Amino acid sequence: MKNKNILSSLSLAILISLTGVVAPNAVAASSPAAEQAEPEKGPHRGRMLREGDFAIELSIFETGVPPEFRVWATNEGQPIDPAKVSLNVKLIRLGDGTDDINFNAQGDFLRGDMVIYEPHSFVVAIEATYQGKKYNWRYDNFEGRTTIEQAVADAMEINTEIAGPATIHQTIPAYGKLSLPVGAKRNIAARFDGEITKLHVNFGEIVKKGQTLFTVESNESLKPYVIKAPINGVITQLFANAGEQTNGKTLLTITNFNRHIAKLAVYPSDYSKVKLETPVTLNIEGHENPLVGEVSFIEPSVRDDQARMVWVELADAELAEGNFVKANIEVATIDVPLAVKRVGLQSFRDFTVVYAKVGKQYEVRMLELGRAGGEWIEVLGGLKTGTEYVTDNSYILKADIEKSGASHDH
């Protein structure tokens, strides 16, 4: 049955709110079409086309073979030898050119000489010749097609891109948490026991390498000396004060928070996929934007749950030790000649599709899909390079087409 291409009432309402008026084309596109009479079906469940006493039944046959046209001809209701009929069918597709199909006699029918690929949506133009007389028919056979005015599409944020080459980044997920690297924490003690005569820093203070922390008077020489910071960092623990004896104890702890290590668990099925310098994208709890890094170390031993820990070093002072991490470790980078964004994929009948855009018309393209990674998925068939297709909000088209009751008419 012909797709009536009816815009949803929501689409029309948005257009009116944007412009204050409804353009004549928008009204035509969004007004309910007159109900079409159900086309006459023949004994082979094909479409009957008649002119005077001559008639043909045109059917898409796909039982045990790829879809093809088969045609039975009659005159005054009686079967005609198919060899006496010359037939040509042209399928005029939306934005994809025209299929030119010729026919050869086989048994009691005429058989088309090419496969009818999906979608079975086209204007059908038929020319038959019998006993020197030409017969012509033309009708619409649409499915998975709708029309939306550009102003409405813009308002509903129906965005498109051009299908073409892409780089697919295949990843494996990994989870873990942030730790501080070895040497990030330094416990400070006095070289010689003595009395702390002055404390130069406070708890929580940021210090620089070489900055004076304590002045101590040695118990042996009775001479003062200073203790300086060996690294940049923050005073995260303070155990001593002026007037106290050092007594060989830890006086304070300096922690450098400028670098962290994401320790990620990788399980046996993925051991072989992860190598040193493998790129990693990390989403860290409490951190708004994802970070990127690479594998810097793979622990040789495994945990009790058989996970092997993979390290990724990060230089970001805003991170916090103990934060949970969700990461994607890139295990393959593949350049493909044709791909689409996965956000644009929808289901249609038993197919995965995107919606091709030609002018203000949109129509399904049934896809044969290959490798996937990140936002992209490889297209092996069903879509031509250079096709404009819908990415964001493709579900609006799916809903509009399902509402219009487009069928798979043979």
Q: What are the phi and psi torsion angles at 352 (to 5°)?
A: -100, 130
Q: What are the phi and psi torsion angles at 198 (to 5°)?
A: -155, 135
Tens digit of each residue's pLDDT (9 = 90 or more) over 325-358: 999 999 999 999 999 999 999 999 999 999 999 9
Q: Where along the chain do the CATH 2.40.50.100 domains lie?
A: 185-255
pLDDT at 177: 95
Of 59, 54, 53, nearest in space to 41 by CA: 59
The secondary element (H helix, E strand) that includes residue 217 is strand 212-218
pLDDT at 317: 72
Contact 373, 169 (CB under 8 A): yes
Q: Where along the chain do the CATH 2.60.40 domains lie?
A: 9-144
Question: Is the overall model pTM greater than 0.85, yes or no?
Answer: no
CA-CA distance, 67 to 96, in Å (whole number)?
Answer: 18
pLDDT at 406: 52
9-144: which CATH topology? Immunoglobulin-like (2.60.40)
Half-sphere exposure of 266 (CA within 13 A, CB side): 28
Q: Which residue type is seen at 130?
A: Y
Handedness of CA 183, 184, 189, 191 (dihedral sign): positive
Helix segments in 141-242, DSSP class H: 150-155
185-255: which CATH topology? OB fold (Dihydrolipoamide Acetyltransferase, E2P) (2.40.50)
Q: Which residues pair with 128 in a beta bridge?
A: 87, 135
| Residue stretches of the chain with pLDDT short of 50 | 1-35
Give me 22's structure tokens. Answer: 């409804």
CATH number of the domain at 147-167+335-404, please? 2.40.420.20
Helix segments in 368-409, DSSP class H: 395-404
CA-CA distance, 150 to 389, in Å (whole number)?
Answer: 14
Q: Where along the chain do the CATH 2.40.420.20 domains lie?
A: 147-167+335-404
CA-CA distance, 227 to 197, in Å (whole number)?
Answer: 12
